[in-house]
Amino acid sequence: MSSVTIEQYIEVIYALENEKGVAHTTDIAVELNIKPPSVTEMLHKLDDLDLIIYEQYHGAKLSNSGKKMAQELMLRHKALADFFMIIGVDEETANFDACKIEHHVSPETFKQLNQFIKFAKDGPCDPLWLEHFNYFDKTGDRKKCICQSRNTPI
Ligand code: FE2
């Protein structure tokens, strides 16, 4: 079983547990578009890995290590979605793509992504390069300088 598959289950169980208190096999099957017997089989495996606590007929809940994995996934998801929105992607698409890519990001890329987001969002002054990019994105024009009227040094 791939780590992507495990992470997808952990994400769905996390969301269902938050919503309903417990993640039922049938709900997981609907969310992941997988047949219930396959879900049950996977839940046994995740239980063996100590990522969930699974009781047949009751459903699954995340264990402490499962919760830790879910939180890490959410941080990766948020960083990717934030990055996509910074470069002009709409929120829905940014979240959709983040959810797919979050399973394939190395710790190093994730660290640098966070550094970049921090820099782009919390700079001491507005990052002019980002304004330039937004202007270029909308107009396709990269020759005209939009900061001529401003006194802020680049
Ligand atoms: Fe996600």
Task: Indicate yes or no: pTM above 0.75.
Answer: yes
CATH number of the domain residue 38 falls in: 1.10.10.10
Distance 146 CA to ligand 1 centre (A): 36
**Rounded CA separation 29/13 (Å):** 11
For residue 144, the enclosing domain spans: 124-154
Distance 139 CA to ligand 1 centre (A): 32
Q: What is the pLDDT of residues 76-110, one digit of tens each?
A: 999 999 999 999 999 999 999 999 999 999 999 99
Q: According to the model, what pLDDT value does residue 141 have? A: 84
> Does residue 67 lie within any of the structural domains?
no
User: Among 34, 62, 90, where does a domain finish?
Assistant: 62
The total number of structural domains that make up the chain: 3
Distance 89 CA to ligand 1 centre (A): 16
Buried b (16+ CB within 10 A) or exposed e, 124-148: eeebbeeebbebeeeeeeeeeeeee
> Does residue 68 lie within any of the structural domains?
no
Q: According to the model, what pLDDT value does residue 128 have? A: 78
**Rounded CA separation 117/98 (Å):** 15
Residues 55, 102 within the same domain: no
Q: Considering the chain, what is the average pLDDT of its residues?
A: 89
DSSP per-residue string spanning 8-20: HHHHHHHHHHHHH
CATH number of the domain residue 92 falls in: 1.10.60.10
| 89 contacts: CB under 8 Å, gap ≥ 6 | 97
Residues 78, 32 within the same domain: no
Distance 32 CA to ligand 1 centre (A): 13
Distance 149 CA to ligand 1 centre (A): 41
Distance 100 CA to ligand 1 centre (A): 7
